[in-house]
């Protein structure tokens, strides 16, 4: 069946989103078609200019408001610059901030190493991390990638890369659900994982 092109275009756009297959894409598109106008209108408004209004911090690659060089955390003099927490995604920063138990700074990798998906070190914000550490002042780096196979592989790779610098390397304590995402862990579990972090050997 040939669909009107605006509808087909919407289905194609949804299909390009992570975790959305052709079936879900069609379902979402038809939902938008039938929904009251405010739903597609609000979505369109939220999407329009998203890339112009939001930017990435030039220091830690967390999200920030466009036009600002640094995110709020990097710009804050209250945060401990000698402690860095390396996470996969900006959502992990949010999860750790919600615990109210971390006073250091962050570095967002924007993914994990994944040979299967063709993600190599050059695809992540690893080089800027090494440059940051080379500038000095960092005493401890918490490798807080997710407790998954890719997360562990990435932490091991970073351990190798960071071994040349005089910094303490730690990993979040076990207790986070294996294969789970930091962003879904509850605050107490995250706090315990932070407090019980262990030296990497
Ligand atoms: Zn930042």
Distance 135 CA to ligand 1 centre (A): 16
* SS3 at position 32: helix
- Supply the pLDDT for residue 192: 86
- Supply the pLDDT for residue 177: 66
What is the reported pTM?
Answer: 0.81
Distance 63 CA to ligand 1 centre (A): 8
- Supply the pLDDT for residue 178: 64
The two tokens of residue 57 are 């911090």
Closest CA to 193 of 175, 169, 168: 175
Distance 78 CA to ligand 1 centre (A): 13
- Supply the pLDDT for residue 172: 87
Orientation of helix 126-134 relative to helix 149-162, angle to 10°: 30
Q: Which residues of the chain have pLDDT under 50?
A: none
* 165 secondary structure, DSSP code: S
How do residues 89-148 score in pLDDT, each as one tens digit?
999 999 999 999 999 999 999 999 998 989 999 999 999 999 999 999 999 999 999 988
* Cβ partners under 8 Å of residue 57, min gap 6: 63, 64, 68, 69, 70, 71, 73, 74
The two tokens of residue 175 are 């207790």
Distance CA 145, CA 153 (A): 9
Distance 93 CA to ligand 1 centre (A): 10
Distance 38 CA to ligand 1 centre (A): 34
Distance 106 CA to ligand 1 centre (A): 7
* Cβ partners under 8 Å of residue 42, min gap 6: none
């Amino acid at each position: 069946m040939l669909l009107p092109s605006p509808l087909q275009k919407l289905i194609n756009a949804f299909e390009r989103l992570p975790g959305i297959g052709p079936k879900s894409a069609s379902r979402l598109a038809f939902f938008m078609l039938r929904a009251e106008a405010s739903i597609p209108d609000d979505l369109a408004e939220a999407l329009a200019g998203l890339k112009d209004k939001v930017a990435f911090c030039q220091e830690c690659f967390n999200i920030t408001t466009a036009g600002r060089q640094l995110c709020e955390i990097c710009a804050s003099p209250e945060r401990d610059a000698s402690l860095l927490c390396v996470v996969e995604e900006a959502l992990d920063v949010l999860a750790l901030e919600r615990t109210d138990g971390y006073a250091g700074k962050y570095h967002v990798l924007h993914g994990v190493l994944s040979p299967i998906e063709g993600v190599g070190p050059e695809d992540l914000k690893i080089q800027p991390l090494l440059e940051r550490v080379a500038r000095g002042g960092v005493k401890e780096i918490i490798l807080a990638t997710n407790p998954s196979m890719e997360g562990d592989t990435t932490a091991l790779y970073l351990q190798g890369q960071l071994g040349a610098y005089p910094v303490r390397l730690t990993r979040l304590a076990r207790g986070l659900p294996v294969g789970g995402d930091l962003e879904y862990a509850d605050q107490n579990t995250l706090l315990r994982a932070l407090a019980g972090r262990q030296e990497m050997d």
